[in-house]
A and B are shown apart, each in its own frame.
Chain A
């Protein structure tokens, strides 16, 4: 048993939902109670998806438990297949259903589903988490669909340079981008452009936007790009083992990593890499970082905590490409602990591997950074500590899914990163000014910046003393209960309400504004 207040990752079936919802033509039947349908809002609210995730929940209730929940599972599967006509079906259970052991996958296997491929997902809810669930689901789905294509044991492996003999351009799969991942949609576009510039085609992008039929084409590519190892690591190593399809492991986030990525990819494909990559002309990050204005970035203390992929990328960019000093590095992705530890050691740090955000907050406070690069959890911790923060990884909040094009990968990704990490620091400067002027009379409690010292330190502001307060320049005054009523109005509209109420009171020729008058005014201005 483990006490959890806020979590970085959801349960593993939410990872499975991320795969199903990222794809087209896949449906997921989940044996789960009604409350578990909350997970839909992760997609429709945070990602602002315009459709429901393709998930049917059995929503069994206590009164079903005595009876036949297996029957309910079968009915749900049959209904879902008929209604949504999926091209592939995922069947699984959430934590509660795991306990009642109906084995929905086995039930589905015994049904006539009209020949559509069915994947039985067994995701242990009491020991695994969301990213693991996503990786496992993606892997099981690919494995299931590619079973008929498996090369015979001992058959020669695919040769990643065969594109030459076949007289075509080399092509690669982009594996790992998914919903609720960080900026995946834009990374796909950026990488596709980057690869096109080197004469490399994209064969399959998956899971994001792929249909089951697209997955069947995976072995036709010359190599896989393992873009988000948390999600695509398992499937990439399986494809490498079974099909001999090599995986490019460098994740191209940052200038150095993009250069390394191109080298690795060209090496795998047997392609000649142009001697001079001219990274400085492709992206503005190197020049912006060299320009004199950036001198004030030198040695800025940064604290990095994210999923494994983004933590590693961020530490490297921060230390080498922006001249920051990394004073803390960690991840909640236990699957990538080894890599993160190695990099931390290189930076002279001990990596923080934990999913306890309070431990992260404590480490953050201890490290006293000037900038935090983290998830939306660290944004809040940083806010409490008064430290500027940029979000670099899932878990996300709706504002981390921007409308504009904002990739992290490739050359444009580096530009985006420069702007979004340096921006809060500028704001940090502004915070000092705000601090200087905070005692000026215009400075009401609502005038808080989104960043830095925004944390309402005391939970509630002291209620004003219950005395009548005269309004400047007139015979108008507030009664104690009027003031008390006003104090209950949220700070960000309180000023407006006060002004309106006073105007209204003057109109009505009132001398004292009491709570009644406040409500009169409220009704008057209601619109």
Chain B
């Protein structure tokens, strides 16, 4: 009966709209459950997206996009000046920072600590890591003068050393050197606490090496050019890796958290949809004799089923839209909140909240779809009622 399937469901819709408008308690209950779930999910997603962007911005702003390291088997990158020239020739490069890292033993009075000593060009390094702003006592550029060191605050505390005092750096095979502490910095989140920054030449003297470096960090204007840049340097015979290769754990964390969040949101919404399902179930029970009468009047099982499916879907959609409005209000409120960061110089930041229309659409439609699924059992049950038994209650 093709004509029957294409019929506009005016009858079903009229019954649904009456149920929704006249049965205020059931409607309010269903709408509240879905609206709340959608609002919470949206807020959750907006915060999560904000956090992801926040993490991503750390990569973009405070980490190198490409890092060149010595070839396998080598300790150092030789002839690094031509590498730096090559690097600068790549379009979109904004910083190229050579570094020479080594382990050293720092001794101050009776205190001995092993440290990661890193020889750097303070200007270029700052362009990549934005480290200068973390230096509280003294100045990063002071290491230019040679025989100076800027150390992490935790390290300074362990060595019980103050700015202006001298620490002795030593290591087997290295040339011991006295270094004046010319600055102390707070380690940015994720940095080790045993870092000491010196000039490139100080590091070379200590290692008794010539014109070598152990790494070259590169920053680009567009973070997505990193792979291409790394490939180009690889083609030139260097060992270069992009941030995607360097920090796979960050990408993984983002992916895993994204998956977990989808699960949590689905769970919240399934629970809310169950609310609609149980409201529908009660409705079917309460309306059994009316359903039987409608069947006597010629309503097919399919029409009866569609009434309850439509009702579930419409309630889900209405609840979803209400939830979207509520969620938007939550998000805007959170976005307006200013919080004080406990670390890193106590900056004031706003909560990272990203309001995406795409997320709103997907979550609202998911809520409607889950509601229809939850309404399927009561709808099926109603459609299978025996008219005689139903009429007699």
- Interaction A to B: no
* A interface residues, Cβ below 8 angstroms from B: none
